[in-house]
Every structure is written in structure tokens, then in C-alpha cells.
Amino acid sequence: MTEHFHWLDTLVLFGYFFGITGYGLWLTRKVKSSDGYFRGERKFKWWIMMGQAFGTGTHAENFVAQTGASYHLGFASIWYQWKNMIITPFYWFIAPWYRRSERTTVGEIVEDRYGRNLAVMYSIFAMLFFIFAQGVMLKGAGKVISVATGNMISSDGVVIVMTVAFILYSFFGGLVASAYANFIQAMMIIVLSMMLIPSGMYAVGGMSGMRETLPPDFFKLFSAESGLGAFTILMLAINGIVGITAQPHMVSMCATGNTERAGRVGQTYGSFVKRLCTIGWAFTGLIVAALVIQRGLSLPDPEMAVGYASRELLWPGLTGLLVAAVLAANMSSCSNFMVNTGALFTQNIYKEFINRHPADKQLLWLGRYSGLALTILGVVFAFYVDNVLHAFLFLETIAAFMGIMVFGGVLWKRGNRYGAWAAVVISFVLYYFLNYQDTGTIEIVYKWKPDLFGWAMLAGFASFILVSLVTKPEDEEMIEQFFDKMMRLSDAPPGPDGKKPLAREHGHDLIFLDITGWLKKERWQGFFKRYREDWLGFLLAWVFVGALVFIAWLILQL
């Protein structure tokens, strides 16, 4: 053990590892079927949904990337993460889509909307997304832990150890073990977000010491010097709202609660907890920037900021707690992704092409083994990742290109498979072509640039609309079945006609549904009553947005 990693740290780390793994394995007794494994039988309470959304949506690379960006560019770089805050109220609108679909995967939703071929294409994308996402998360955590432990083990070694950890309980416990473990791990992430601040503030001489050391621009909530002007923030927001609709774990995030409201609350307010934690990450970056300057040092990689701070500022035992929290951030996400990967393979590949009528037990075990195999590919990708921030934005970007057909398919009935194919192909091809023209190199992961992303998204949406208009519409019966589900309350039991009640009768009609319908008089009849759940929840979410921005601004005035 090195001087930077005390025996107390080791004790805390092993205590966490065995505790969370044992708890996850204990929960496996609840899993009796494939639906229990993949969706938890849709029985999770709102607080579990919040913990799941926060834990799965918060990864070690978020903490690593944001702290590194703030260390390098100042507090205003918080908008790399906060670009999703200004779209978080819209999560309240879109969360019910996934529960009302009555499906297990987003791939099945795509099939209901566009047909089999696009569903297969989406499923391949989704599995690659999970592979890339797991690789980025594991690499981000590896960077922190390697530096925090005084390079006791390499970042690649950390990747392997973490993979073994979350596989142990995810393989047997599925989404049940993942969701409940996520709630505990979410508490660990909150601790991680704030634990470096007290000792760091003391070390740099408080706010006065930081202001004397750092440029004034580092303490601005908005700053052109950070590289995040209004246009960049707008492009990041578009990236987020369109991309999240196509992220393949959205069914588990929004549709596994015991009610529609549980899914709305979980996805929306679990995300707000992450936005709150982001303030801590950004502020930690300022502390590290001041500390390094005061000591006459420099870091070769800004993303080493968290590891350096933990090594220099934490007492014995607390470094172990930080490492455990980093493990929590990644294990919570990776376990969810592993379960969703298995669901995609079994529901959209195996059942579609190999065995259309498998026994439920066969689906359960195939989901476990396929999730395991694809997770191992994620470990391989982790060895390729270099810059975590660029890789994180890359993942959201490719999801946004796929999101054109998912987002557009719910908002516009006339959109069809030909327009969806055109949108995906043209946006991807143009994005890579523009990046190649800009850099002269061929890469998988390019540095994210708002103008190049904007052109690709514009071309994607334009092609979706134009190609859909000039080609054959989708089968009318298929479209009506898809949108009929979206108009019915998924919480209620079916009536005598075998259908669930219309959501408008309970104030749960969806505003974000077929925008061409907004031009019809009947869509606005009884607006405040029929859309009560939508507009009240949306307005309340904006109150939280304002509160978080005010908190960040207030801190910077100290």
C-alpha cells in the first residue's frame, strides 16, 4: 500500500465492495421471470425511480470531465453538463411515452412505429451505444482511482476490477438488483460530489484565496472564454433533448415505475439531483485550479484534477470513501446498461430472428449471458478511450442522430420509415464528413464542435420531413395503434372493450403528441383539464431550474 492509500482506505473500499455486492445478490431472490429481470415487473416506487434515474444517469466520467473542465476553463464550463438542465422540464412530457408503449425496449417501440428493419438497425445501434457508454464510464472511473491511490494500480486495472464488481449482482438480479442498489449508490454519489470542498476550501484560503489566485473569468456563470457561448449551449440542449429520447435505457428509466407519475418524477427530479451535484463538481474544479497554482504545479491532463485533489486533500479513510463513491457511480450505470443490453438482444434479435416463441426461462438466461458478453466488449472499448469529455459528448451526439426518428416519430404522425432512414444516414454521414474536412483525420470519436453538430442535425431533421412527405405513408392501422396507446392511461386496468381508458378523461393527455394535431380546434378544448398533469408538472420543473441557477449564482458571489 502506498503512502497515499492508507489501510483505512482499503478497509472502507472493501467494506463497500462486499456490502453492495452482497445486497445486490440478496435481491436476486425477487427475480422469477424475464419481465422481472428486464423491467422489475413495473413495480418500483417513485423514490426508487429517482435513485435509478440519478444513479444510472450519473457516471464517474461526468464528475471527472466536469471537474477537469472547470479546472481548465472556469465555472462556466458547467454548461457542458447543465445543457440538459434547461431541457429537464421536458422530461416530464416525454417520460409517459415509454410506459404507454407497453414495451420492454426502445427497439420494440421503433418496430411498432416504423417496422422491423428500422428496429433491427436501432437495436444494433443501441447495443453499440451501451458498449461505448460502459467503456467511457469505466475509463473515467479508472482515471480518478488510479491517481487517487497514488498509481497503486493502473486505470486499465481499475476497469477490470469494476467490471467484475457490477457483473456479480447484475447477472443474477437484473433490474431489481440494479434499481435498489442504484438508490444506495445514488447517496454515495451525492457524498462524492461534495466531499472534497471543505478541505479544499481550507487548503486554498477560502473564497478570498481562490479569487486572488484565479482569473476573474473563472467565477462567471456564463463566459465566452470557457468556449460556451449561447450558440454552443443551444446546440448542447438540442443534443440533449433529441438524444435522450433514443437512449436505449429510457424504458427502464421511465416505464418501470408502478405508475406513470412515478416514471415522470423519477426521470425529471432524479435528473435535477444530478444538476445540483454538478455545482459541486464545477466548484471542486475551481478549488483544484487554485491549489495547483498556489503550489507552483501543473497537471498534464485536466481530467486528473479529481484524483489529484483526493490524494492531496483527504484524510485516511476518506480517500477510500471517494474511491467507493466513484465505484458506485459506475456500477449503478453499468449494471443498468448490462440488463438493458441483454433485453435488447433477446427481445429484438433472438426473438425476432432465431426463436419467436421461446420459453420464459430461456429468455431469462439468454438475457443474462448476452448482457455479460456485450459488457465485456465495453471493457475493450475502455482501453481505446483517451479524453473522457469528448467521448461523453460523442455518445450523446450519436444518440441525437438516432433520436431524430424517435422524437420526430411521436411528434409527427406523417413521419415514415423512409424519412427515418434518411435522417439517420444523412446526419451521421454529414457529421463525419464535416469533421474529416475540419481535422483531416479519420476518427471514431471526434472533439465535439457545435457548428458541425448543428449542420448535421439540421440536415437530419430536414431529410426526415422532406423524404417522409414525398414517400408512401406508413400503414394507417399500424400508426393508429401506435398513437392510440399514447392516448391511453397505462396505470388503469382495461375496460370492457379490452382497452385502457383515454388519458384525457383523467387529466393525463399528452401535449407532446402529433404536433399537426395542435392546429385542430378539438386539441385545445378543455386544455387545462385534459392536460393538467402535463402543464402543472412542467411549470413546477421550471421552478426547480430557476432555483438551481440561483444557487450557483449565489455561490459565485461569495
Q: What is residue 152's predicted lDDT score, i.e. its pLDDT?
A: 65
Tens-place pLDDT, residues 89-100 = 999 999 999 999
Euclidean distance between CA atoms 9 and 321, whole angstroms = 7
- Partners of 502 in the beta sheet? 488
Any idea where the domains of the chain sit in the sequence? 7-22+43-398
- Please check the confidence at residue 17 and state whether its pLDDT lies above 60: yes
Q: Which three cell numbers stand for residue 17?
A: 465492495
Q: What is residue 1's predicted lDDT score, i.e. its pLDDT?
A: 33
Among 292, 278, 279, 277, smallest CA distance to 200 is for 292
Q: What is residue 419's predicted lDDT score, i.e. its pLDDT?
A: 98
Q: Is 130 left (phi over 0), alpha (psi -120 to 50) or beta?
A: alpha
- Partners of 257 in the beta sheet? 44
Tens-place pLDDT, residues 408-466 = 999 999 999 999 999 999 999 999 999 999 989 988 777 888 999 999 999 999 999 99
Q: Which three cell numbers stand for residue 154?
A: 493502473
Q: What is residue 386's predicted lDDT score, i.e. its pLDDT?
A: 60
- Whether residue 84 contacts residue 271, with contact meaning beta carbons closer than 8 Å, is answered with yes
Q: Which long-range contacts (CB under 8 A, 24 or more apart) does 214-218 make?
A: 214/74, 214/286, 214/289, 214/290, 214/293, 215/74, 217/74, 217/76, 218/74, 218/75, 218/286, 218/289
Euclidean distance between CA atoms 400 and 121, whole angstroms = 15
- Please check the confidence at residue 513 and state whether its pLDDT lies above 50: yes
Fold of 7-22+43-398: Sodium/glucose cotransporter (1.20.1730)
Euclidean distance between CA atoms 362 and 350, whole angstroms = 11
- Please check the confidence at residue 495 and state whether its pLDDT lies above 70: yes
Among 337, 326, 332, smallest CA distance to 270 is for 332
Euclidean distance between CA atoms 175 and 437, whole angstroms = 43
Sign of the CA dihedral running 196, 201, 207, 209: negative
Compute the mean pLDDT over every residue in the chain, rounded to the nearest whole number: 86
Q: What is residue 29's predicted lDDT score, i.e. its pLDDT?
A: 74
Tens-place pLDDT, residues 163-182 = 777 777 777 777 877 777 77
**Strand, helix or coil for residue 488:** strand
Angle at 338 between CA 333 and CA 340, to 5 degrees: 95
- Whether residue 379 contacts residue 142, with contact meaning beta carbons closer than 8 Å, is answered with no
Euclidean distance between CA atoms 350 and 363, whole angstroms = 9
Q: What is residue 303's predicted lDDT score, i.e. its pLDDT?
A: 75
The pTM of the full predicted model, rounded to 2 decimals, is 0.87
Q: What is residue 310's predicted lDDT score, i.e. its pLDDT?
A: 79
Q: How many helices (H) and strands (E) does the chain have?
A: 23, 0
